[in-house]
């Protein structure tokens, strides 16, 4: 059974400068909620209570966000703003959150390696701190956890991506064994669309068995001079069966500006208090654009 989650959030977020110069990208708000709060809510709603966040330099805001803030709580209490008070108390009580610092930014594989003592000899969930997945049914990580319970093997979440975007992602080669489920055969980092083994991209959610740590330690530096998790998983494939699951839900990668913009618009439209007025505003803008191209 998977009981712990690891959230890598140490990256510099260079694709999102200048805001990420002093602000962790994981704290970028989706309307009024930091991205990483959605990530933690996903893990918690799947039943995970123990969360390790891999942080780095300049990521203090993440720790502060999930800590108690007595000054703020007192003020809200005095003003009788009970709803806001409950909201911020809930954030601090969501889960048992632990932190560890990645000393040098040596890549996602290296970041995960920092979790080895914390997760010990247990399977664990990995949720990238800059990727939100919304789902109408079960949270994405919960879908993978159910499969772990069936197969006892590592599982990678994948999503279908349009052909023209294939070269941006890690793509899997897999053998379909059930609807949405594949036996993993290979992983290819950013292939050309015409050479790609599929259109299924790795989506920022994983269940990994502790075998990954030995594989990471044996993985040489890869793309960008960093230790890539994808390379470590490829090594793991030599010794273990791994699966890929085309989850039910939608992925929002806030690490790049265009997807971030789309995320905010979609999430705002999901909120009752904004939907009507915001939609009217968007329609107005589109009409103006059509009139003055
Ligand atoms: P990305 O490559 O998307 O994140 O890594 P980045 O390096 O922050 O972004 P850019 O490319 O400079 O804009 C995927 C995930 O792995 C984490 C990141 O925080 C992100 O959640 N990561 C990456 C680490 O924790 N440590 C690393 O050394 C690298």
- Ligand 1 atom closest to the Cα of residue 7 is 21
Nearest alpha carbon, ligand 1 atom 10: 13
Let me know if residue 292 belongs to a domain: no
**pLDDT of the residue at 235:** 96
**pLDDT of the residue at 293:** 60
How many domains are contained in the chain? 1
Let me know if residue 31 belongs to a domain: yes
- Ligand 1 atom closest to the Cα of residue 11 is 8
Cα-to-centroid distance, 135 and ligand 1 (Å): 24
- Supply the CATH number for residue 176's domain: 3.90.550.10
What sign for the dihedral angle of Cα 275, 39, 204, 207? Answer: negative
Let me know if residue 178 belongs to a domain: yes
Q: pLDDT per residue over 180-234, tens digit each?
A: 999 999 999 889 999 999 999 999 999 999 999 999 999 999 888 999 999 999 9
**pLDDT of the residue at 34:** 96
Let me know if residue 267 belongs to a domain: yes
More confident residue, 149 or 90: 149
Let me know if residue 173 belongs to a domain: yes
- Ligand 1 atom closest to the Cα of residue 10 is 25
Q: pLDDT per residue over 231-275, tens digit each?
A: 999 999 999 999 999 999 999 999 999 999 999 999 999 999 999
Cα-to-centroid distance, 142 and ligand 1 (Å): 23
Distance of CA 86 to the CA centre of its chain: 26
Size of the chain in residues: 293
Residue 100: its H or E element: strand 96-101
- Ligand 1 atom closest to the Cα of residue 16 is 13
Let me know if residue 144 belongs to a domain: yes
More confident residue, 163 or 244: 244
Which phi and psi angles does 165 have, rounded to 5°? Answer: -105, 0
| Percent of the chain's residues with pLDDT above 90 | 88
Domain range enclosing 132: 4-271
* Residues in CB range of 68: below 8 A, 6 or more apart: 89, 92
Cα-to-centroid distance, 7 and ligand 1 (Å): 11
Cα(145)–Cα(157) distance, rounded to whole angstroms?
11
In whole numbers, what is the pLDDT of the chain averaged over residues?
94
List all residues whose CB is within 6 A of at least one atom of ligand 1: 8-16, 54, 102, 105-108, 110-111, 128-130, 255
| Percent of the chain's residues with pLDDT above 70 | 99
CA–CA distance from 209 to each of 30, 81, 213 (Å)? 32, 45, 9
């Amino acid at each position: 059974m998977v009981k712990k989650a690891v959230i890598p959030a140490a990256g510099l977020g260079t694709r999102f400068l200048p805001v990420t110069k002093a602000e962790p990208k994981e704290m970028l708000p989706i309307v009024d909620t930091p991205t990483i709060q959605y990530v933690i809510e996903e893990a918690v709603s799947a039943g995970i209570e123990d969360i390790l966040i891999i942080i780095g330099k300049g990521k203090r805001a993440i720790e502060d966000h999930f800590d108690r803030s007595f000054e703020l709580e007192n003020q809200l209490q005095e003003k009788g703003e009970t709803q806001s008070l409950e909201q911020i108390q809930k954030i601090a009580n969501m889960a048992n959150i632990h932190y560890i610092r990645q000393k040098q930014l040596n890549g996602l594989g290296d970041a995960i390696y920092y979790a080895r003592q914390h997760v010990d000899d247990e399977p664990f969930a990995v949720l990238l701190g800059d990727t939100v997945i919304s789902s109408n049914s079960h949270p994405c990580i919960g879908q993978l956890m159910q499969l772990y319970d069936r197969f006892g093997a590592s599982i990678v979440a994948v999503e279908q991506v349009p052909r023209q975007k294939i070269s941006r992602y890690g793509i899997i080669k897999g053998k379909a064994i059930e609807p949405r489920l594949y036996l993993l055969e290979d992983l290819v980092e950013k292939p050309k669309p015409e050479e790609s083994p599929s259109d299924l991209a790795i989506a920022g959610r994983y269940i990994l068995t502790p075998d990954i740590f030995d594989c990471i330690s044996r993985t040489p530096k890869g793309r960008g001079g960093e230790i890539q998790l994808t390379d470590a998983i490829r090594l793991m494939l030599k010794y273990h069966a791994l699966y890929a699951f085309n989850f039910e839900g939608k992925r929002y990668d806030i690490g790049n500006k265009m997807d971030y913009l789309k995320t905010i618009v979609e999430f705002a439209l999901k909120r009752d208090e904004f939907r009507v007025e915001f939609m009217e505003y968007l329609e107005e803008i589109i009409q103006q654009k059509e009139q003055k191209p």
